Amino acid sequence: MSEARDQILARVRGAIAQTPRPAAAPRAYRRADPRGQAELIEQFCERVGDYRAEVQRVRADRVADAIRTAAQRHRAQRLAVAPGLPQRWTAGCGLQLVPDDGLAVRELDTLDGVISGASVAIAETGTIVLSGAPHEGRRLLSLVPDLHICVVEHQQVVGLLPQALERLHGAVSDERRPLTFISGPSATSDIELQRVEGVHGPRRLVVIVTQEPS
Amino acid sequence: MRAPGESFPAAAHHELANPQLRANLANATTTIRTKRARVVEELPDWQALRDAGSAIKADVMANLDTYLLEFEAALTAAGATVHWARDGAEACAVVAQVARAHGAQEVVKVKSLATDEIELNRSLAQEGIHALETDFAELILQLDGDWSSHILVPAIHRNRTEIRDLFRRTIAPGIESDEPAVLAEAARLHLRERFLEAKVGVSGANFGVARTGTLCVVESEGNGRMCTTLPPVLVTIIGIEKLVPTLADLEVFLQLLPRSATGERMNPYTSLWTGVSDGDGPQELHVVLLDNGRTRVLADEIGRQALHCIRCSACLNVCPVYSRTGGHAYGSVYPGPIGAILTPQLIGIENAPSLPFASSLCGACYEVCPVKIDIPRVLLHLRARAVDTVGGRGERSAMRAAAWVFARGSRLRAAQRLGRIAQRLLLSGGVIRRLPPPLSAWTRTRDLRPLAPRGFVEERGERE
């Protein structure tokens, strides 16, 4: 196979030998957002809603209530939780919580839902980003169960996608953590371009946003 | 990649005769076009993003050897095994070898054009390994032995009733409703067990980050996440042109791609992974760097911009030719305007000489392209190469004969007299519908107006 490697590299070098080095890419697009946090959260919630996900703004000390009512609404009793999920978010919620300490996938598949935190949220696109931190858990945790309840903290919301990537730069380049950008529940538009929520990922996504820094 | 079985005009003829196909296509392309326009309009800096995207890709091409080596080193450091494949056969062999090493009779697959291009499924089948397509549309096509007609919505030519009937025959006997939600549920049930059982996943990649070795898959359904996180082993096949220099460069493409592709602000799921993560996802990662004609494209200074393509399919949806003929007429994994410039370069212009002509050169594709590929310019460039390579002998002798006739007024008048007599045999309804060979090539797709009873020169002569 190293023969293939040498040959491909030689072909590439031959193909670009005469190519002058292009100028640096112009970056005139927006990389900062002048808006205040309240406005960003307003837009984030509106755009998450556009994907037909449920979104709720609550006081930081009312997260557990919001989780309980969301779970009840979806008739979810047994929910997996990320191993490092802050306890105050679920204290007294009355649900049967199953911490992910390496649950087998089949076990996970029998649960009604999952509760996780997030790393960053993007207002302009209504996106939440998970980066495999302890309060978010493994990638399959937010994938296999049919209901995903995700808690986004006030200060995690940024305006634009470039700002989100900047915040996560170290997580990827230094720690090699995986990133998952989630924009609404899983969907397909493969049948006559009609959008259907929910194919393989969670069919229902509930985003709970705290109203002030916690 | 196989060469198209027949020329574009011939294939387009039977596709155009299918009214169901034309209705499905017109509906689909109009819908996506409208959605795209709305979300692109929303961004005040869309043109700046396009400029950046185009320049980043030009930089990648100009320094591709450096970026490939950087990518390989970063991947290796992150625990992945890197393979280089000169052609499709070498790439398929890697997947087969990995599957065999893990005793897998089935691999679960994310929708990937690169794997379609190298006909991975067929090749694995010959080794006794089944490649299960898990994208909803790809599953439909696989169940029916059909093939994709759109980069992004592969089963765009199928309607709900056709899909319901197919499912009834295959994965969901007894299914009654043709509601999209019911059909999606049937696919979910059918695939869930297969995901949980899978030993080996196979994916393509939308982007690879040279600096960090990060791979990126952009999708909607979650089947991509299933295939890249559930199986203990993952093989990712990535064309060598798919690199971007740094993680920060993704900030450009992750904005350009979803809005251009599905007309959404962001697609439901975008996954980035960097080698192997402890206790999270596959613990064995193989990455195949695929050439398969790409270095040939790279060697053409005008044509190489086809390699900038991020497979959004916006050019298909705006193309007046594609939106009538559909994808099958192109006889290629890459249909539409981008296919008309990419396919002939990947497999050699002599193997697809009619594709660069499958365009009216209206320029709509260039305007919507998120990375500003000047498709009309490349089309013209390839048309010239097609004529130089394969065609044009007949045309050249016809032009020589015409030059001889036009050189003298007496010759022209004689030719016109002759023509007026001869055309009486050919006229039907006031036009000539069919000329004898070799001139029949002209009238195969056009009607010809007959010669006027009196030519311009004769008219002028009489008035003087």
Q: From B191, which residue of chain A is nearest by alpha-carbon distance?
A: A200
Percent of chain B with pLDDT over 70: 98
| Whether pLDDT at A2 is above 90 | no
Say which of B24, B223, B277 has its CB closest to residue A199. Answer: B223
Contacts of B155 in chain A (CB under 8 A): 190-191
| CATH (domain of A177) | 3.40.50.10420
pLDDT per residue as tens digits for the range A143-168: 999 999 999 999 999 999 999 999 99
Lowest mean pLDDT among A66-70, B197-201, B442-446: B442-446
Rounded CA-CA distance B298/B301 in Å is 7
What does chain A come to in residues? 214
Residue A90 belongs to domain spanning: 35-210
Match 């006997």 to its residue by tokens.
B173
Answer whether residue A5 is part of any domain: no
Contact A197, A184 (CB under 8 A): yes
Question: Quick one: how many helices (H) and strands (E) in chain B?
Answer: 22, 12
- In this structure, is residue A24 part of a structural domain? no
In a domain, B320, yes or no: no
Q: Which residues of A touch B212 (CB under 8 A)?
A: 172-173, 176
Q: Give the three-class secondary structure for A162.
A: helix
Residue B228 inside a domain? The answer is yes
**B148: nearest CA in chain A?**
A190
Considering the domain boundaries, does residue A117 fall inside one?
yes
Element (H, E) at B166: helix B160-169
* Chain A (22-61) residues lying within 8 Å, Cβ to Cβ, of chain B: 22-31, 47, 50-51
A102 neighbourhood in chain B, CB within 8 Å: 279
How many C-beta atoms lie closer than 10 Å to residue B126's C-beta?
Answer: 9
Comparing CB atoms, the residue among B45, B220, B298 nearest residue A30 is: B45
Query: How many CB atoms neighbour CB A173 within 10 A?
Result: 18
A7 falls within a domain:
no
Interface with A, mutate which of B60, B229, B230 (most A CBs under 10 A): B229
Q: Does residue B106 form part of some domain? A: yes
Examine residue A70 and state whether it is found in any structural domain, yes or no: yes
The confidence score (pLDDT) of residue B220 equals 93
Sequence-ordered alpha helix ranges (H) in B320-374: 322-325, 336-347, 364-368
pLDDT for residue B22: 85
The answer as to whether A135 is a domain residue is yes
- Counted domains in chain A: 1
Which of B137, B291, B296 lies at the smallest CB-CB distance from A190? B137
**Residue B352, pLDDT above cutoff 80:** yes
In a domain, B333, yes or no: no
Kind of pairing between the strands at B284-290 and A204-210: unpaired
Residue B183 lies in a domain: yes
The pLDDT value recorded for residue B450 is 86
B428 Cβ contact list (under 8 Å, min separation 6): none
Tell whether A10 is covered by a domain: no
Task: Give how far B188 is from chain A: nearest CA, Å.
Answer: 6
Kindly state whether residue B349 falls inside one of the protein's structural domains: no
Q: Does residue B406 fall inside a structural domain?
A: yes
Nearest to B329 by CA among B306, B359, B349, B297: B359
- pLDDT at residue B462 greater than cutoff 70: no
Using the 3D structure, point to which of B225, B260, B292 is the last residue of a domain: B292
Residue whose structure tokens are 């296999």: A144
Considering the domain boundaries, does residue B181 fall inside one?
A: yes
| Number of independent structural domains in chain B | 2
pLDDT tens by residue, B329-342: 999 899 999 999 99
Would the pLDDT of B153 be above 90? no
Tell me, yes or no, if A145 comes closer than 8 A to chain B by beta carbon: no
Q: Are B178 and B288 in a shared domain?
A: yes
- Distances from the Cα of B386 to the Cαs of A76, B374, B383, in angstroms? 63, 18, 5
B191's tokens: 């695939």
Mean pLDDT for the stretch of residues B63-90: 98
Q: What is the pLDDT of residue B389?
A: 82
Listed residue (A12, A59, A77, A48) closest to A150, CA to CA = A48
H or E segment to which residue A97 belongs: strand A96-99
Neighbours of B58 (CB within 10 A): 19
> B277, B292, B307 — which closes off a domain?
B292
Tell me how crowded residue B357 is: count the other CB atoms within 10 A of its CB. Answer: 17
In a domain, A29, yes or no: no
Ordered DSSP codes for B264-333: -SS-SEEEEEES-BTTBS-SEEEEEEE-TTHHHHHTSTTGGGGGG-----HHHHH-TTHHHH-SGGGTSS
Range of the domain at B202: 43-292
Closest CA to B336 of B354, B353, B320, B352: B320
Tell me the ipTM for this assembly.
0.97
**Final residue before a domain boundary, out of B262, B292, B322:** B292
